[in-house]
C-alpha cells in the first residue's frame, strides 16, 4: 500500500532509492543498475515467486481435496486468493513503480497499482475477520456452529468482504493519501482519506478480531477446565483456532508499522524518509508469502495435500476423495 508522497523537487531523490536516478522531473531505471539494486530486485522477485507458488498450493489443495471443503477452509481459500493476487499483481507493479517513482510520475498506472494494493490488503484483513467469526462459533457455540456457518453463509461473507475491499480501495485512492506535513497542502478530503481509510481497512477490523480472539481464549480456557471439555472443544478445533490466531498475529505484526506511519505522519514536522516508506511497504506485501508456510507447519492435512501436489501424484489419478493425514 502506498501513500501519495508530497515532496518538492528531485534533489537527493536519486540517492534515496538504489534503483532509480533522477532526470529533470522524472525518475528513470538506470541502464547499468548497481549491485545493490540487482540484489534488492532479486530478493523481491524471490518473494513474489514464493508468494505465488505457496498460495497456489493452498488454493489447489482446498479446491481439489473434498476433505478440505469446509467453511473454515473456504475463508482460507479466499485469503490465499488475495495473497496470490498480491504476488501476481502488486509485487510486479511495486517493483516497476516504487513509492519513489510514483512520487514524481503520478499517472494512471500508479493509481491502478494503488487500487490493487489497497483493495487486496483490505480484502486480506476482512477475510481474517471472517475467519475469527468462524472460529468464534466453532469454539464458543459448537452445538450450533454447523447450522450457523454453512457453505452458503461462508460464500456470502466472502463476497461481501471482496465488495467492501474494492470500494474502500477505490475510495482511498480517489481521495488521495498524504505522506508529509499538513500545512497548506492537506485538503479535508486528503485528511479524511489518511484517517478514515486506515481506520476502515485496518484498525477497526483489527480491533474486532482481537476482541473475538480474546473472547475465544477465555471461553476455551473455561471449557478446558470443565468436565465437558472433551465434548465441547475438540483437539482439532483448538488447533485450528490457535493456527488461525497465529496467522492473524503475524498479519498485524507486519501491517501495523505501515498503518501507524500513514495515520500519524501528517502530524509530525518532518515527513518520514522514502527508504523507510519503501521498507514498510514491502514489509506489508511480504506477509502474503507467510500464510502457506504457517498452514504447512501446523496442519498435517495441508502438508499431505502439498506433498501430493508437488510430487505430481494428483495428476496420476483421481485423489479428490483421498483421506488426508
Q: pLDDT (tens digit, 9 = 90+) per residue, 290-325?
A: 888 888 778 888 889 999 999 998 888 888 888 887
Residue 84 has pLDDT above 80, yes or no: yes
- What confidence tier does 25 reach under pLDDT thresholds 50, 70, 90? low
pLDDT at 189: 52
Residue 3 has pLDDT above 50, yes or no: no
Q: Are 15 and 99 in contact (CB under 8 A)?
A: no
Q: Is residue 107 classed exposed, middle or buried when 0-12, 13-18 and 19+ CB atoms within 10 A define those classes?
A: exposed
Q: pLDDT (tens digit, 9 = 90+) per residue, 142-186?
A: 889 999 999 999 999 999 999 999 988 888 777 665 444 444 445
Neighbours of 187 (CB within 10 A): 13
Residue 258 has pLDDT above 80, yes or no: yes
Q: Are 68 and 61 in contact (CB under 8 A)?
A: yes
Which whole number is the average pLDDT over 74-96?
A: 91
Residue 43 has pLDDT above 60, yes or no: yes
Alpha helix (H) ranges present in 199-312? 204-225, 229-232, 235-264, 274-298, 300-310
- Lowest-confidence pick of 62-66, 68-72, 196-200, 299-303: 196-200
Q: Are strands 26-28 and 21-23 parallel, antiparallel or unpaired?
A: antiparallel
- What confidence tier does 38 reach under pLDDT thresholds 50, 70, 90? confident
Q: Are 72 and 33 in contact (CB under 8 A)?
A: no
How far is Cα 11 from Cα 34, in angstroms, rounded to an integer? Answer: 20
How far is Cα 68 from Cα 62, in angstroms, rounded to an integer? Answer: 5
How far is Cα 57 from Cα 276, in angstroms, rounded to an integer? Answer: 32
Instruction: Return the higher-pLDDT residue of 213 and 160.
Output: 160
pLDDT at 39: 87
Mean pLDDT taken over the chain: 78
Q: Which contiguous run of DSSP H or E holds residue 193?
A: helix 188-198
- What confidence tier does 104 reach under pLDDT thresholds 50, 70, 90? low
Q: Are 50 and 255 in contact (CB under 8 A)?
A: no
Share of the chain above pLDDT 90, in %: 25
Which whole number is the average pLDDT over 210-234?
A: 70
How far is Cα 191 from Cα 182, in angstroms, rounded to an integer? Answer: 9
CATH of domain 20-222+231-315: 1.20.1070.10
End-to-end CA distance of the chain: 38
**Domain coordinates in residue numbering, the chain:** 20-222+231-315
Amino acid at each position: 500500500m502506498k501513500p501519495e508522497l508530497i515532496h518538492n523537487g528531485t534533489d537527493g531523490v536519486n540517492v534515496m532509492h538504489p534503483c532509480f536516478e533522477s532526470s529533470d522531473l522524472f525518475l528513470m531505471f538506470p541502464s547499468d543498475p548497481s549491485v545493490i539494486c540487482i540484489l534488492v530486485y532479486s530478493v523481491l522477485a524471490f518473494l513474489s515467486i514464493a508468494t505465488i507458488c505457496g498460495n497456489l498450493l493452498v488454493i489447489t489443495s482446498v479446491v481439489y481435496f473434498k476433505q478440505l471443503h469446509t467453511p473454515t477452509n473456504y475463508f482460507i481459500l479466499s485469503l490465499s486468493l488475495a495473497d496470490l493476487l498480491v504476488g501476481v499483481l502488486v509485487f510486479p507493479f511495486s517493483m516497476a513503480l516504487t513509492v519513489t517513482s510514483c512520487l514524481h510520475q503520478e499517472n494512471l498506472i500508479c493509481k491502478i497499482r494503488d487500487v490493487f494494493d489497497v483493495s487486496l490488503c483490505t480484502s486480506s484483513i476482512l477475510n481474517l475477520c471472517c475467519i475469527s467469526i468462524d472460529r468464534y462459533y466453532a469454539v464458543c457455540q459448537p452445538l450450533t456452529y454447523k447450522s450457523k456457518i454453512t457453505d452458503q453463509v461462508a460464500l456470502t461473507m466472502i463476497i461481501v468482504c471482496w465488495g467492501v475491499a474494492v470500494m474502500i480501495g477505490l475510495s482511498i485512492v480517489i481521495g488521495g493519501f498524504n505522506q508529509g506535513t499538513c500545512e497548506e497542502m492537506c485538503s479535508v478530503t486528503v485528511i479524511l482519506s489518511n484517517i478514515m481509510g486506515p481506520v476502515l481497512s485496518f484498525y477497526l477490523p483489527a480491533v474486532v478480531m482481537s476482541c473475538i480472539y480474546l473472547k475465544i481464549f477465555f471461553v476455551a480456557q473455561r471449557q478446558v477446565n470443565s468436565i465437558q471439555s472433551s465434548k465441547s472443544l475438540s483437539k482439532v478445533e483448538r488447533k485450528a483456532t490457535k493456527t488461525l490466531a497465529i496467522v492473524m498475529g503475524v498479519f498485524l505484526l507486519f501491517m501495523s508499522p505501515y498503518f501507524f506511519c500513514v495515520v500519524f505522519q501528517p502530524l509530525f514536522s518532518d515527513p518520514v524518509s522514502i527508504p523507510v516508506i519503501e521498507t514498510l511497504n514491502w514489509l506489508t506485501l511480504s506477509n502474503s508469502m507467510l500464510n502457506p508456510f504457517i498452514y504447512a507447519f501446523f496442519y498435517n492435512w495441508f502438508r499431505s495435500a502439498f506433498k501430493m501436489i508437488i510430487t505430481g501424484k494428483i495428476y496420476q489419478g483421481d485423489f479428490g476423495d483421498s483421506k488426508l493425514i
